[in-house]
C-alpha cells in the first residue's frame, strides 16, 4: 500500500509538471506496452537513462535527448549571433569595443555571412581600433576573414596587422602568431611582410616555448605559401 501511495503521489506531481505530454509522446512514438511502462517508471522514479527530465517548456514531453540538447545549444548560439550582427552596417556599430567586435567577426564567419556591407563595416572598425586591440583580438579578426575566404579584403587593415606584429613582437604569443600566419596563408597574402616578421621572431627567440601545435601551424603556413626559410626551419626542426 505504501508503494502504491508513493507512486500515486509521484504521478500527481508529475501530472502538474507535464506528464500528460509524456503520455501523448508515448502515443506518437507508438511504444509497446512494455516500453511505455519502462519509460513511465523512469519518469517517476528516475534511472541511469541517457534522457533527463526538464521543466523547460520548449521540450517535447519533458524529455531532452542529447540531440535535443545540441539543438537547443545551437539555437542559443544563433540568437547570440543575431544580436551581435544586428544592425552592423549602420546602427551601434561604431560603439563596438575590441571584444564585441571580435564576437561579431566570429559570428559573421560562423554564419557564413555574405553581405559585403557587413564585412566592409567590420574591417573598417577593426582598422580604427587596431592601436588598442590585443594580440588575441587581432588573431581572431584575421582568422575570421580566412574562414570565409573573403575576397574584398581591406588592404589597409592587412598592412596595419603586419605593422602591429612588427612593432609589438614581444606582446604576441606563439599561438596567436601561428593563427596569423595560417590566416595569411589561407588568404594567400604571401607578398605581405608578416611572414618575414614572424620568421625573425621565431629565429631570435629560437622557438623557445613553442608547442607541437604552434610548430605545425608555422610549417603548414610556410609550406602552403611555398616560402623556404632555412633559418626558420632549422629552428623548428
pLDDT digits (tens, 9 = 90+) for 169-222: 999 999 999 999 999 999 999 776 999 999 999 999 998 999 999 999 999 999
Task: Please give the Cα distance from 22 to 126 (Å, whole number).
Answer: 51
Where residue 62 falls (left for φ over 0; alpha for ψ -120 to 50; beta otherwise) is left
Question: pLDDT, tens digit, for every residue of 8-66?
Answer: 565 555 544 444 444 434 443 444 444 544 455 554 444 443 333 334 444 444 456 77
3-state secondary structure string across the chain: CHHHHHHHHHHHHHHHHCHHHHHHHHHHHCCCHHHHHHHHHHHHHCCCCCCEECCCCCCHHHEECHHHHHHHHHHHHHHHHHHHHCCCCCCCHHHCCHHHHHHHHHHHHHCCCCCHHHHHHHHHHHHHHHHHCCHHHHHHHHHHHHHCCCCCCCHHHHHHHHHHHHHCHHHCCHHHHHHHHHHHHHCCCCCCCHHHHHHHHHHHHCCCCCCHHHHHHHHHHHHHHCCCCHHHHHHHC
71, pLDDT greater than 50: yes
Q: Which residues have CB under 8 Å from 162's CB, separation 6+?
A: 192, 193, 194, 197
Q: 183 with 142: CB under 8 angstroms?
A: yes
pLDDT score, position 52:
36
Which of 84-88, 89-93, 162-166 is the most confident on average? 162-166
| 29 vs 98 pLDDT, higher one | 98
What cell was used for 149?
575566404
Quick one: how far is CA 29 from the chain centroid?
A: 35
pTM: 0.64
Question: pLDDT, tens digit, for every residue of 180-190?
Answer: 999 999 999 97
128, pLDDT greater than 90: yes
pLDDT score, position 220:
96
Question: pLDDT, tens digit, for every residue of 130-158?
Answer: 999 999 999 999 999 999 998 899 999 99
Amino acid at each position: 500500500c505504501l508503494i502504491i501511495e508513493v507512486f500515486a503521489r509521484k504521478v500527481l506531481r508529475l501530472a502538474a509538471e507535464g506528464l500528460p505530454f509524456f503520455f501523448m509522446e508515448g502515443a506518437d512514438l507508438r511504444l509497446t506496452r512494455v516500453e511505455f511502462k519502462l519509460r513511465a517508471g523512469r519518469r517517476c522514479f528516475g534511472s541511469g537513462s541517457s534522457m533527463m527530465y526538464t521543466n523547460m517548456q520548449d521540450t517535447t514531453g519533458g524529455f531532452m535527448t542529447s540531440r535535443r540538447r545540441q539543438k537547443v545549444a545551437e539555437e542559443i548560439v544563433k540568437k547570440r549571433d543575431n544580436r551581435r550582427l544586428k544592425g552592423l552596417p549602420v546602427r551601434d556599430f561604431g560603439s563596438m569595443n575590441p571584444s564585441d567586435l571580435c564576437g561579431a567577426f566570429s559570428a559573421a564567419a560562423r554564419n557564413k555571412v555574405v553581405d559585403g556591407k557587413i564585412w566592409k563595416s567590420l574591417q573598417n572598425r577593426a582598422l580604427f581600433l587596431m592601436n588598442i586591440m590585443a594580440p588575441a583580438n587581432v588573431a581572431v579578426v584575421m582568422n575570421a576573414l580566412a574562414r570565409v575566404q573573403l575576397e574584398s579584403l581591406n588592404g589597409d587593415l592587412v598592412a596595419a596587422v603586419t605593422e602591429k606584429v612588427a612593432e609589438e613582437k614581444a606582446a604576441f604569443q606563439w599561438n596567436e602568431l601561428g593563427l596569423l600566419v595560417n590566416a595569411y596563408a589561407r588568404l594567400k597574402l604571401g607578398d605581405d611582410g608578416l611572414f618575414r616578421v614572424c620568421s625573425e621572431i621565431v629565429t631570435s627567440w629560437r622557438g623557445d616555448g613553442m608547442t607541437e601545435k604552434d610548430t605545425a601551424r608555422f610549417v603548414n603556413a610556410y609550406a602552403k605559401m611555398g616560402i623556404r626559410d632555412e633559418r626558420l626551419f632549422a629552428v623548428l626542426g
